[in-house]
Amino acid sequence: MSHDHNHAPAGFSKAFAIGIALNLVFVGVEAFYGWTVNSLALLADAGHNLSDVAGLVLAWGGVLAGRLQPNPRHTYGWKKGSILAAFANALLLLVAMGALGWEAMGRLTSPDVSTGHEGATVMAVAGVGILINSATALLFMRGRDTDLNIRGAFLHMAADALVSAGVVVAGALTLWMGWHWLDPVVSLLIAAVIVWGTWSLFKQSLHLLFDGVPDDIDPQAVHDYLAELDGVQAVHDLHIWALDTTQTAMTAHLVMPTWRQDDLFLKGIADSLHERFEITHSTIQIVREPFTTPCRSWGTKK
């Protein structure tokens, strides 16, 4: 059998530590000014931003869980932790946007006519929020396309930067033009945009939790590559699944009635699977006669 153990975890621990620290400070600032000016909006947003800290902690926990060493009871370790964290982050974002939409609908029916000092304070603190959330999102920008868990952290912080920007713009126009309906309308639009962007993360992470084939891998192409190998009569029991948000595993039975190869043949397959499909853990079993019922009818090599 061939089993490739080439790992390349990205180091985002410093980014998580900085992001959590920045957001905890911001929550403290919001809570202080919310209490000082008696602003329920700021106090509520402080509670919302505390959920950002929870989201970052979840994502960091997923990264750290993936670094735990395998043992006889968890032979792959705790790598699924990063997928679970990505799913939890997506779910948290969707719930937060649902709460934002509910609040916005309430304000459309009963407009908040607060103006003056409180409104200016809310805008000023939201402006700081844009900076904090944008800076935190930038910490995770380089990993958002290659790691679903890091993408979850990035989306969470980018979404809150967008919400804070909406608060500033809507607040300024409301103070200037007296359009009290604008704030809830902008909130609903922002919530819709964020839900649209988060839905893909939710679906992908849920798909991987149930051992689905990662979206960037074509299982038929993997089967065809294996089936075209010299001496292979059929491919049985091909399984492809995500170990975590960056590593993919695969197992397969190759029916080879006249197999006389050595380990170099298996090593070549493992190397090709890694290079062509980014499959980092491959286990190949050679059989001369099939002895299991195929899990899927892939067909046989012609």
List pLDDT tens digits, range 221-254.
999 999 999 999 999 999 999 999 889 999 999 9
Instruction: Out of 209, 234, 267, pick the residue that ends a domain.
Output: 209
Say how far apart CA 249 and CA 82 lie, in whole Å: 15
| Residue where one domain finishes, among candidates 189, 209, 229 | 209
Q: What is the mean pLDDT of residues 58-70?
A: 88
> Is the distance from CB of 168 to CB of 123 less than 8 angstroms?
yes
Per the domain annotation, does 46 fall within a domain? yes
Query: Residue 119 has what pLDDT?
Result: 67
Where residue 248 sits, what CATH number does that domain have? 3.30.70.1350
What pLDDT score does 8 carry?
39
Same domain, 199 and 170: yes
Shared domain check, 126 and 148: yes
Residues 266 and 158 in one domain: no
Same-domain pairing of 27 and 51: yes
Q: Is the residue at 299 inside a domain?
A: no
**Do 184 and 280 have their domain in common?**
no
Are 181 and 36 members of one domain? yes
Cβ atoms of 296 and 264 within 8 Å: the answer is no
Does residue 234 belong to any structural domain of this protein?
yes
At 5-57, the pLDDT tens digits run: 444 345 688 899 999 999 899 888 878 877 776 665 666 667 777 777 888 99
> Percent of the chain, pLDDT > 90?
30
Q: What is the mean pLDDT of residues 105-113?
A: 72
Q: Which two tokens stand for residue 144?
A: 């958002």
Q: Is 298 a member of any domain? A: no
Residue 48 belongs to some domain of the structure: yes
The whole-number average pLDDT for the span 206-234 is 93
Name the token pair of 191: 């919530």
Residue-number span of the structural domain to which 188 is assigned = 13-209
Whether the per-residue pLDDT at 300 is higher than 50: the answer is no
pLDDT tens track for 265-283: 999 999 999 999 999 999 9
Q: Which of 160, 176, 209 is a domain's end point?
A: 209
For residues 119 and 176, the answer to whether their CB atoms sit within 8 Å is no
Residue 172 has pLDDT above 90, yes or no: no
79/165 same-domain check: yes
Q: In terms of domains, do 123 and 229 share one?
A: no
Take residue 21 and report the two structure tokens written for it.
């620290």
Q: What is the predicted pLDDT for the residue at 20?
A: 92
User: What is the Cα–Cα distance from 11 to 22, expressed in whole angstroms?
Assistant: 19
In this model, does residue 58 exceed pLDDT 80?
yes
| pLDDT of 264 strictly over 60 | yes
Whether 78 and 114 share a structural domain: yes
266 in a structural domain = yes
User: Where does the chain have alpha helices with state H?
Assistant: 13-36, 40-66, 80-109, 117-139, 148-177, 182-209, 219-227, 263-277
- Tell me: do 68 and 194 sit in the same domain: yes
Residue 181's SS3 state is coil
Tally of structural domains, the chain: 2
Quick check: 232 and 254 in contact, CB under 8 A? yes
Q: What predicted TM-score, i.e. pTM, was given to this entire model?
A: 0.77
Angstrom distance (rounded) from CA 229 to CA 238: 15
**What long-range pairs does 111-116 form, CB within 8 A, spacing at least 24?**
111/180, 111/181, 111/184, 112/41, 112/180, 112/183, 113/180, 114/39, 114/41, 115/174, 115/175
CATH code at position 31: 1.20.1510.10
CA dihedral 37, 97, 166, 59 (to 10 degrees): 90
DSSP string, 218-233: -HHHHHHHHHTSTT--
Task: Kindly tell me if the per-residue pLDDT of 219 is higher than 90.
Answer: yes
pLDDT at site 118: 60
Q: What is the mean pLDDT of residues 65-91?
A: 89
Specify the pLDDT at position 6. 41
What mean pLDDT is reported for the chain? 82
For residue 294, is it within any domain? no
Based on the fold, state whether residues 205 and 226 are members of the same structural domain.
Answer: no
CA–centroid distance for 271 within its chain: 28
> Does a structural domain hold residue 189?
yes
Compute the Cα dihedral for 56, 59, 63, 69 and give only its sign. positive
Do 61 and 144 belong together in one domain? yes
Higher pLDDT, 82 or 106: 82
